[in-house]
Structure 1
């Protein structure tokens, strides 16, 4: 698929081009060094920002959030985001690859249990309780210290500190009791969503995903409605719609190119698909989004 939105790699942001697994920094100097990152862009890595000062807004996949101290947000690879800050902004930032901590764990699906790493913007922005802030800030300071003063097994220490922080944040969300205890339906939905992420351009029908999951289409549909409150077809269409919105943020791509990249037979069919779900045409969505950004 044509990449219409800039995709940022860790090595692009790092001083050392060989640094491709993790980048850790205080946020103010990071922001000063990368002033061009206010425009919509994707990451090829996980992106974590914790705010200690500042205000403004940031947008993740067309969901807008107010920036405030004590807030932490996460992003998964492929999501589109932008920010508009007001005044001085500071905090901490950690960019890390999917393999950075996974390589440290025996359970390959361990991070699937953290809601803030599931790709849903509403779960990715966490307002931390005031009583938790000193402990979270202390962990960030220890992580920064490991980077500023490298020591033996420093990379492993960073992984341990990050894991400790993730567990604390998970507790703040009140999600700890059932961690790692997903039932059959939740596991099935997670596998369904992973398949959609891989195949949404070419595979459009629930029956084809049901076949990949070795279940019947009716069973897949029933589980989707039970867990997500949506039909299996709606889940697939929503992922296609999200990618359409992402592509529409680039004014250099015309509607026909976007329809082609999303495997629609023609521009008219794509427009009808988009308007039926979103309520406006792709052109109207683009105009509205770009006007808001400007």
Structure 2
């Protein structure tokens, strides 16, 4: 059966221990309990997995990645996710609520400083170099041990270890190197992305965002090319297309309704825009997603 809407899961529904803000587990038993998570779904919490073994693919916001040992991926609330695993898959999974660090850190934007926790798919899937694989695995072992005890300050230890993990992973990313080279430009880029999240339905032109950032459109374009490798206009269009894809997998919405939701003048203009950016029409994208879900359901049925 194909679900008409994308389910949204919360920690208290997924956690075996009914913890409110944090869930830590080996991935194999987590996967055994939550087989339905292979279908497209969303979370209202942060979600990260370190793979230790297994194959197949996983999708984040319709970007497909091969499963590889010592690959780690991060997801923020609201992203669309699905799996198609092959063979035995194991590793570690950590889920935590947006409020988990609020009482621990004074900075409200603490998580947003890490490139892999900003919802940029290309920066959220990272292969761990061999020289630090033992260190990263140790972090997850400590997290698992602390989550299974009732010791004093146990949750604070979990937070402290997660911060060590975040810093270790952040030092691997090109975005971190770019940030060290040009903190000012990196800050502008992050503010640009935050503005897009709030305004992508109404503001479509780089000059409109540049005005809000108090810089010239050319400077904004230069920053995006330097730090992301694409022009500022494409950053905006990519976000619109991503939202369109998220709504297209909701079969309760017609293409015309989605065009209206995204503030397009008419369905024809929306279709042309989507095809130019995604390479297929909205209906073709939806039909392919339906086929993919049927294939996934068929594979799951054969396993059962």
TM-score range, shorter chain: 0.7 to 0.9
Q: Which runs of 5+ in 1 are unaligned?
A: none
In structure 2, C-alpha distance between the alignment counterparts of 1:24 and 1:185, rounded to whole Å: 36
Q: Which residue of 1 aligns with 2:13?
A: 12
Q: Could you state the TM-score of these two structures normalised by the residue count of structure 1?
A: 0.88
- Listed as ranges, the matches of 1:278-293 within 5 Å are 278-293=278-293
Q: Equivalent residue for 1:269?
A: 269
Which whole-Å CA distance do the structure 2 matches of 1:85 and 1:246 have between them? 22
Counterpart of 2:153 in structure 1 is: 153
Q: C-alpha displacement at 1:142, in angstroms?
A: 1.3
1:203 aligns to what SS in structure 2?
coil
Question: Tell me, what secondary structure is at the counterpart of 2:291?
Answer: helix
**Alignment coverage as a number of residue pairs:** 291
**8 Å contact from structure 2 (residues 59, 65) kept in 1:** yes
Alignment correspondent of 1:55: 55
Equivalent residues in 2 for 1:86-97 (5 A)? 86-97=86-97
Work out whether residues 139 and 161 of structure 1, in 8 Å CA contact, stay in contact via their aligned partners in 2.
yes
SS across alignment from 2:201: coil
How many angstroms does 1:168 deviate by? 2.2
Contact 2:146 2:154 in 1 (8 A): yes
| Residue 100 (structure 2) aligns with | 100
How far apart in 1 are the matches of 2:242 and 2:160?
34
2:300 counterpart residue number: none
Shift of 1:69: 2.0
- Aligned residue for 2:24? 24
Name 2:299's counterpart in structure 1: none
CA distance 1:55–1:143, shift in 2 (3 Å): same
Label 1:96 to 1:276 Cα distance change in 2 as closer, same or farther (>3 A).
same
What is the CA–CA distance in structure 1 between the aligned matches of 2:264 and 2:103, rounded to whole Å? 38
Superposition pairs for residues 172-211 of structure 1, below 5 Å? 172-173=172-173, 182-211=182-211
Structure 1 window deviating more from structure 2 (224-233 vs 148-157): it is 224-233
Contact 1:110 1:180 in 2 (8 A): no
- Aligned pairs for 1:212-223 (under 5 A) are 212-223=212-223
Taking the aligned partners of 1:174 and 1:225, their CA distance within structure 2 comes to: 14
How has the CA–CA distance of structure 1 residues 223 and 54 changed in structure 2, closer, same or farther, with 3 Å as cutoff?
Answer: closer
| 1:246/1:177 CA distance change after superposition, 3 Å | closer
**Structure 1 stretch 6-15 or stretch 151-160: which is displaced more?**
6-15
In 1, are the aligned partners of 2:115 and 2:176 still within 8 Å (CA)?
no
The 1:175/1:279 distance shift into structure 2, 3 A limit, reads: closer
Deviation at 1:5, TM superposition (A): 2.2
* Structure 2 Cα separation of the partners of residues 80 and 214 of structure 1: 33
TM-score by length of 2: 0.85
Asked if the contact 1:9/1:20 (under 8 Å) is kept, the reply is no
Work out the CA distance in 2 between the residues paired with 1:132 and 1:68: 16
TM-aligned CA distance change 1:253 to 1:179, over 3 Å? same
Give the RMSD, CA atoms, in angstroms. Answer: 2.5
Distance 1:197 1:50, change over 3 A: same
After superposing the two structures, state which structure 1 stretch, 143-152 or 131-140, moved more: 131-140
Please list the CA deviations of residues 126-174 of structure 1 after superposition, one character each: whole Å capped at 9, or x if unmatched.
Answer: 2222332222222211111111112111111000111112222234447
Aligned partner of 2:124 in structure 1 is: 124
State the distance in 2 between where 1:286 and 1:174 align.
34
Equivalent residues of 1:113, 1:179 under 8 A apart: no
Q: Which runs of 5+ in 2 are unaligned?
A: 296-304
